[in-house]
Amino acid sequence: MALDTTESTIVGSSDATTTQDWDAMFAEWLAQTGKTLDDCGDEPQLPELMSLSTGENVALLTSLTDGLATTDSLIFSLTDRSLTSGDISLTADGQLSYNPLGQFDYLSSGEFAVESFTFTVEGTVDETELTNRIGHQIGRGHTDANGLGIGHRICLHDHDSGEPGVYTVTVELMIMGENDDVALLAADSSGSVTEDLDPSVTLVDSGVIGFVDPDTNDVHTVAVSYVGSSAGTQYGDLTAAISNSATGDSLGEVTWDFSVANAEVDFLTLGETITETYEVTITDSNGSAVTQTVTVDIVGSSQAPVAGDDAYSITASALGSEMLDVMANDSDPDGSAIQVISVNGGFGLATITADGLDYAIDPAFLAMGDGQSVTDTFTYTIEDGQGETQTATVDVTIYGEGSSQTMSVVSGITPNTNQEIGVSLFLNGTTEDGTTDGQVQISFGAVIQPTLNVIYVVDTSGSTFNTFAGTPVGDLNGDGMANTILDAEIAGLNAVTESIVDREIAGEGFGPGQVTIGTVFFNAYSPSNTITWDSATETFTLDGDAASMSATGDAIDAELQTMQAAGGTNFDRAGQEALRLINELDDDPANPESNVVMFLTDGYGGAFSDATIAGLQDRAQVTAIGVGAGSSLVELQRIDNTGGAEKVFSSDELREALLASPIPDGSIVEATLTTYDTSGAMIDAQSLDPDAFVDTVYGLQLDLAASGLDADFGDLNTAELTIRFDDNQDGIPDMSMTTAVDIFGLA
> Could you give the CA distance from residue 692 to residue 29 in angstroms, rounded to a whole number?
150
Among 98-107, 339-348, 714-723, whose mean pLDDT is lowest? 98-107
CATH domain 310-399 topology: Immunoglobulin-like (2.60.40)
**Confidence grade of residue 408 (pLDDT, cut at 50, 70, 90):** confident
The reported pTM is 0.44
Query: What does the pLDDT average to over 405-434?
Result: 78
Q: What is the mean pLDDT of residues 681-693?
A: 91
User: What's the whole-number mean pLDDT along residues 597-618?
Assistant: 91
Measure Cα distances from 460 to 246, 560, 578, 627 in Å. Answer: 144, 11, 15, 12
- Whether residue 333 is predicted with pLDDT greater than 60 in this model: the reply is yes
With pLDDT > 90 as the criterion, what percentage of the chain qualifies? 26
In eight-state DSSP terms, residue 23 is H
Helix (H) or strand (E) holding 186: strand 183-187
For range 28-54, the mean pLDDT: 47
Residue 158 pLDDT more than 60?
A: no
Q: How far is 594 from 663, CA to CA, in rounded Å?
A: 10
Higher per-residue confidence, 541 vs 377: 377
Q: Do domains 404-446+668-747 and 452-649 have the same CATH topology?
A: no
Which candidate, 390, 389, 387, 391, places its Cα nearest to that of 270? 387
b/e sequence 20-50, b meaning 16+ C-beta within 10 Å: bebeebbeebbeeeebebeebeebbbbbbbb
How many whole angstroms separate alpha carbon 735 and alpha carbon 729? 12
Least-confidence region, from 177-181, 249-253, 489-493: 177-181
Q: What are phi and psi of 53, to 5 degrees?
A: -145, 155
Cβ atoms 562, 479 nearer than 8 A: no
Q: Tell me, what's the pLDDT at 226?
A: 96
- CATH code, 452-649: 3.40.50.410
pLDDT score of 311 more than 90: yes
Quick check: 516 and 495 in contact, CB under 8 A? no
Q: How far apart are CA 167 and CA 64, in angstroms?
A: 13
The pLDDT of residue 513 is above 60: no
Lowest pLDDT segment from 380-389, 418-427, 662-671: 662-671
Phi and psi of 703, rounded to 5°? -75, 145
689-714 pLDDT tens trace: 988 888 776 678 889 999 999 999 88
Specify the pLDDT at position 320: 87
The one-letter amino acid code at 439 reads Q
Give me the percent of the chain exceeding a pLDDT of 70.
Answer: 75
Count of C-beta atoms within a 10 Å radius of residue 313: 12
Indicate the domain borders of the chain. 22-176, 183-299, 310-399, 404-446+668-747, 452-649
**Pick the residue with more confidence: 705 or 182?**
705
First-to-last CA distance in the chain? 129
Dihedral pair phi/psi, residue 129, rounded to 5°: -65, -45
Task: Tell me the mean pLDDT in the region 313-324.
Answer: 89
Residue 533: is it exposed, middle or buried by C-beta count within 10 angstroms (0-12/13-18/19+)?
buried
Predicted confidence (pLDDT) at residue 357 exceeds the cutoff of 90: yes
Highest mean pLDDT among 169-173, 191-195, 558-562, 584-588: 191-195
Rounded average pLDDT over 558-567: 82
- Quick one: which of 464, 447, 460, 579 has its CA closest to 508? 447
pLDDT-derived band at 127 (thresholds 50, 70, 90) equals very low
pLDDT above 80: residue 323:
yes
610 in helix, strand or coil? Answer: helix
Rg (CA), the chain: 69
CATH of domain 404-446+668-747: 2.60.40
For the segment 52-101, what is each residue's pLDDT rounded down to a tens digit?
A: 667 777 777 877 766 554 435 677 788 876 677 788 888 888 788 888 88
The string of pLDDT tens digits covering residues 139-152 is 333 323 333 332 33
Give the pLDDT confidence score for residue 325 in this predicted structure.
94
Task: Please state the separation of Cα 736 from the chain's center in Å.
Answer: 50
Report the CATH architecture of 183-299: Sandwich (2.60)
- Give the CA dihedral 35, 39, 40, 45, nearest 10 degrees: -20
How far is Cα 217 from Cα 222, in angstroms, rounded to an integer?
Answer: 16
| Residue 134 pLDDT exceeds 60 | no
E strands, 245-372, where? 251-261, 273-284, 289-299, 310-315, 320-324, 339-344, 350-353, 356-361
Q: Mean of the pLDDT values across residues 424-453? A: 81
Question: Residue 359 above 80 pLDDT?
Answer: yes
Q: Which tens digits make up the pLDDT trace of 371-391? A: 888 899 999 999 988 888 999
